[in-house]
Structure 1
Amino acid sequence: MKIKTGLGIDVHRLEPGLDFWLGGIKLQHDKGCVAHSDGDVLIHAICDALLGAAGLDDIGTYFPDTDPAYKGIDSKILLKKVVEMLERKCFSVGNIDCVICLQRPKIKMRTLEMRECLAEIIGIDVDDLTIKATTTEQLGFEGREEGVSAYATVLLIKL
């Protein structure tokens, strides 16, 4: 059995009047992510971590922001496509651990919903996917509520 790890990071600017998607669910917030897709930083970080662990290129290679086909796309669709790429390479997901950095909104009460949504798409048990959130104590762009960042680590198992 061969195991591989991956790390993914994504950052998006926040602006008023846009929808705020995080972990596959829409959150109530007065700002949303500026992006070519729906701007779900958590899914994007997970995709990059999965792709990297499998020895594949980054998310922008497969779903470029210059391609009109991905304009406004639901990031859950991108995640499903990444999972299919992994399956073709005979990888299964062991676990995923994530951290989201944002000042507001508080998301603790929504992380289980995010985990359930993402675990179903990935085909893993909800206990194999963790999501934690932290503020940056009002420091940096996250603390000033100018943007949000997400980090994900994954463990893949070669079948």
Structure 2
Amino acid sequence: MPATPSVAVIVVAAGSGTRLGLNRPKAFVEIAGRTILSRSLDPVRGMAEPVSIVVVVPEALVAETAAGLDAAVVAGAATRQQSVAAGLAVVPEGTEIVLVHDAARAFTPPEVFDRVVAAVRATGHGVIPGLPVTDTIKGVAADGTVRDTIDRSTLTAVQTPQGFPLGQLTEAYRLAAGDFTDDAALLREAGHPVSVVAGDGRSFKITTADDLGRAEDLLRRSLPTMRTGVGVDAHAFSTDEGEELWLAGLFWPGERGLSGHSDGDVVAHAICDALLGASGLGDLGSRFGTADPELAGAHGEVFLRRTRQILAAEGFTVGNVSVQLIGNRPRFSPRKAEADALLSAVLGAPVSVSATTTDGLGSVGRGEGLTAIATALVVGVTRSG
């Protein structure tokens, strides 16, 4: 059996979410098709080391949550502190460090979790992530008048996950005489020190409808955009019997070549058109004109590499490409794997080429040339502003 991870993460998702106003427990509200709880588990799974996961949810949702989830799922209670205690009760033996994380902070990056774990190991006591307070803070009397201005340099806006040695956290819960707003306060009450490490602006807490809108906006801006394009190229066979055939980046000995300013590789050219079209960056003709002497006789691999560079300069990568080659010859299937591997290596993405005929219809069916149709997916990060 594999050893128990030394770190456990308790994800607290038992709140009712009444301030969200959606008649659904907050952690089970969806953002872009996935629940807040589901998104909050992504960074936990992205941590640098394996961890045990404990999820605390409303009692009525335990069975639903546990289905297909590789984590211990337990029922929460009336308060956050009681819910964390329920999670602590099922932390596996052998655990040394426990992180307590609010599911509502669904976009906390994995590096914050790793940072907290490293600091707990280094200090031997509790560690919490936080951000400097940037607003001016006033102390206000009961009648609403300002009493004083508080020195914000001594203040930190606290986030989660909060990390602790398991023994200290268990002791603090055993000794707790009241209900505290977070685990760090409970640990301090038990006499244990707590340190602060850098938090992250993405670790905001989803509490109100405005917070939900902020989360949706963050997701829209951070998700990659995916675009598709179609490219078509056709070339007649050359009248020069000595013209070499280059197709799908490969040399085909004994086959008559295609006419064109370059080597006439219809597969490579169709791919370039599809990629440029998908990314909105022109087409083969506008990017690689026949007036360019450097491209005279150039092989398809040259066009593909340049196209990839053009896309990269604009923040795009190739997702995948599918090509349909249409023609009577050469017999393509024996070299399909070779062509796919070469094209995939050049573009840094999966490329699949298949071939068919037109059953004698049209100029291609009469053996006068070849046609290729390419469909491409490109991926790019949405640019804000």
- Structure that is richer in strand per residue: 1
- The letter for the 2-side match of 1:111 is K
Task: Report whether the alignment pairs 1:77 with 2:77.
Answer: no
Q: TM-score, normalising length from structure 1?
A: 0.93
In 1: Cα distance, 2:243 partner to 2:253 partner: 10
Candidates 315, 319, 324, aligned match of 1:90: 315
Candidates 231, 235, 241, aligned match of 1:12: 235
In 1: Cα distance, 2:340 partner to 2:321 partner: 10
In 2: Cα distance, 1:103 partner to 1:114 partner: 18
- The letter for the 1-side match of 2:316 is F
Structure 1 residue 67, shift from structure 2 partner:
2.1
- The letter for the 1-side match of 2:354 is K
- The letter for the 1-side match of 2:301 is K
Structure 1 residue 17, shift from structure 2 partner:
2.7
Candidates 95, 113, 136, aligned match of 2:358: 136
Structure 1 residue 61, shift from structure 2 partner:
1.1
In 2: Cα distance, 1:11 partner to 1:27 partner: 18
In 2: Cα distance, 1:119 partner to 1:30 partner: 24
Q: State the match for 1:148 in structure 2.
A: 370
In 1: Cα distance, 2:347 partner to 2:284 partner: 16
Alignment of 1:18-37 (within 5 A): 18-37=243-262
Structure 1 residue 30, shift from structure 2 partner:
3.6
In 1: Cα distance, 2:255 partner to 2:273 partner: 27
In 2: Cα distance, 1:155 partner to 1:45 partner: 13
- The letter for the 2-side match of 1:123 is G
Which is bigger in relative contact order (C-alpha 8 A, separation at least 6)? Answer: 1
In 2: Cα distance, 1:112 partner to 1:90 partner: 29
Structure 1 residue 11, shift from structure 2 partner:
0.3
CA contact (8 A) 1:5 1:53 kept: yes
In 2: Cα distance, 1:11 partner to 1:120 partner: 24
Deviations 1:69-108 (A, max 9, x none): 2111122111101001111111111111110001112110
- The letter for the 1-side match of 2:288 is F
Structure 1 residue 136, shift from structure 2 partner:
1.0
- The letter for the 2-side match of 1:49 is A
In 2: Cα distance, 1:106 partner to 1:24 partner: 15
Please say which structure displays the higher CA radius of gyration.
2
CA contact (8 A) 2:255 2:330 kept: no
Change (3 A) 1:156 1:30: closer
Task: Report whether the alignment pairs 1:65 with 2:287.
Answer: no
CA contact (8 A) 2:267 2:372 kept: yes
Structure 1 residue 29, shift from structure 2 partner:
4.0
In 2: Cα distance, 1:84 partner to 1:146 partner: 33
Q: State the match for 1:3 in structure 2.
A: 226
CA contact (8 A) 1:111 1:132 kept: yes
The total of aligned residue pairs comes to 156
- The letter for the 2-side match of 1:132 is S
CA contact (8 A) 2:230 2:373 kept: yes
CA contact (8 A) 2:247 2:265 kept: yes
CA contact (8 A) 1:29 1:105 kept: no
Identity fraction in percent: 38
In 2: Cα distance, 1:54 partner to 1:145 partner: 33
Task: Report whether the alignment pairs 1:115 with 2:337.
Answer: no
Greater Cα shift, 10-19 or 38-47: 10-19
SS in 1 for 2:257: strand
In 2: Cα distance, 1:143 partner to 1:17 partner: 23
Q: State the match for 2:160 in structure 1.
A: none
In 1: Cα distance, 2:302 partner to 2:318 partner: 18
In 1: Cα distance, 2:231 partner to 2:254 partner: 25
In 1: Cα distance, 2:367 partner to 2:254 partner: 11
CA contact (8 A) 2:226 2:377 kept: yes
SS in 1 for 2:335: helix
**Structure 1, gaps ≥5 residues long:** none
